[in-house]
Each structure stands twice: as C-alpha cells, then as structure tokens.
C-alpha cells in the first residue's frame, strides 16, 4: 500500500507541476507597508487551528490590511461556517488528483490580494493548486518540496515552527523588503 501511495503522490505532483507551467503572472515584491490586502492559506487538521486563523485575520485587519483566507480542512475535522472573504473546502471538493473543483479554483482566482502567504506547515496538494492558480504578485511560504510555486520561502527549524511563529517570521522578512 505504501508503494501505491508513493506512486499516487508522484503522479499528483507531476500534474501540479504541469498545471503550474501553464499559468502566467506578473511577479511583484512589495514592502509590508505597501501591502493593502493579504491572502492567507491554511491546512486545518485540528479544530483548534480555527482560533489561529481568526487571530491572524484580526491582527492583519488591525494593521489596516484586507484579509482573504483559504482553508483546506482535513477529513474528520468539522468545517467552520464560511465567513466574509473566506474560502473553505475539503477533499470532497477535489478530484482524485487533489485538484480543487472549478468553483473553488474560480473563487480563489478572484481573490484580489497583493500577497499570498501559505501558512500551512506541511505540503498540501489542494492548497498548492490554489497557489499555482493564483495571480497574486508575490507568494510566500515556509520552505516546502514544491519550491517552484513560491517567490519567497522561509526556512525554519521544524521543532520551533507553529503557524503563529511562521507568520511572525514571514512578516519580519516582508518588512525588510524595500519596494
């Protein structure tokens, strides 16, 4: 069974790369002060992570940023009610290759953010399709296997990483960018 899962993973990754190569966008690096809207991506594998999502939304809103959030909810975790500027989807909304359905992809494509920040701590093919499909000028994440999807990646020690620490570190580096 493990070998079959490995083959399926490689197949999904191959189609993600193929999909990504068809996409085109203008890359644009902005300093943190010049960012007016942020798209935050989360992999929700525990119900308690919703608290992190709402805290991050509140923090960015307090800084005067418009926040869009995309949540991929793992099977077995209750999905929160969809809220303003929030896109919530599960594996049921994806094909067997983990490609989100057309409605999810279109909703994600319509997010007009200045920067996309993937706060998921692990690789998630459905979220990475959202990243690949996005026209956002700057895409940021923790260092992941599919490096080709992101413009800026932050390497952190795994034992020290949680979503809050990752977002804090990303914000620190974004503040260092001069546009």
Task: Report pLDDT for 92.
Answer: 92
Q: Which of 140, 87, 77 is nearest to 109 (CA)?
A: 87
Reply yes or no on whether the pLDDT at 82 is more than 80.
no
The beta strand positions in 30-105, using DSSP E, are: 37-44, 66-73, 86-90
Report whether 70 contacts 42 (CB < 8 A).
yes
**Which ranges constitute the DSSP H helices of the chain?**
2-22, 49-62, 102-109, 125-133, 163-176
CATH of the domain at 86: 3.40.50
For the chain, first and last CA: distance in Å?
A: 50
Angle at 123 between CA 122 and CA 129, to 5 degrees: 140
Q: Using CA atoms, how far apart are residues 104 and 135, in angstroms rounded to an integer? A: 15
Task: Report pLDDT for 100.
Answer: 93
Task: Report pLDDT for 1.
Answer: 55
Q: Looking at 18-27, 34-43, 70-79, which range is the least confident one?
A: 18-27
Q: Using CA atoms, how far apart are residues 26 and 6, in angstroms rounded to an integer? A: 34
Higher pLDDT, 60 or 29: 60
Task: Report pLDDT for 179.
Answer: 56
Average pLDDT over residues 138-145: 86
Domain that holds residue 43: 2-176
Query: In Å, how far from its chain's centre is CA 70?
Result: 7
Reply yes or no on whether the pLDDT at 54 is more than 70.
yes
What average pLDDT does the structure give for the chain? 85
Report whether 118 contacts 143 (CB < 8 A).
no
Task: Report pLDDT for 147.
Answer: 77
Reply yes or no on whether the pLDDT at 58 is more than 60.
yes
Domain tally, the chain: 1
Q: Which of 141, 172, 168 is nearest to 155 (CA)?
A: 141
Token readout for 31 is 């300093």
Residue appearing with tokens 């996409």: 23
Reply yes or no on whether the pLDDT at 151 is more than 80.
yes
Q: What is the pLDDT of residues 105-125, one digit of tens each?
A: 988 888 889 999 999 988 889
pLDDT range class, residue 64, cuts 50, 70, 90: very high
């Amino acid at each position: 069974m493990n070998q079959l899962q490995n083959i399926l993973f490689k197949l999904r990754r191959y189609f993600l790369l193929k999909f990504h190569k068809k996409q085109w966008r203008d890359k644009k690096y902005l300093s943190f002060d010049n960012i007016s809207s942020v798209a935050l991506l989360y992999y929700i594998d525990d119900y308690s992570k919703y608290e992190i999502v709402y805290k991050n939304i509140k923090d960015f809103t307090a800084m005067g940023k418009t926040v869009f959030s995309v949540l991929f909810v793992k099977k077995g975790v209750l999905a929160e009610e969809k809220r303003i500027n929030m896109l919530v989807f599960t594996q049921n909304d994806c094909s067997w290759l983990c490609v989100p359905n057309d409605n999810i992809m279109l909703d994600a494509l319509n997010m007009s953010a200045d920067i996309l920040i993937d706060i998921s701590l692990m690789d998630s093919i459905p979220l990475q399709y959202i990243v690949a499909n996005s026209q956002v000028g700057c895409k940021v994440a923790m260092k992941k296997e599919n490096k080709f999807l992101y413009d800026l990646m932050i390497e952190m020690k795994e034992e020290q990483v949680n979503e809050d620490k990752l977002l804090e570190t990303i914000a620190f580096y974004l503040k260092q960018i001069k546009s």
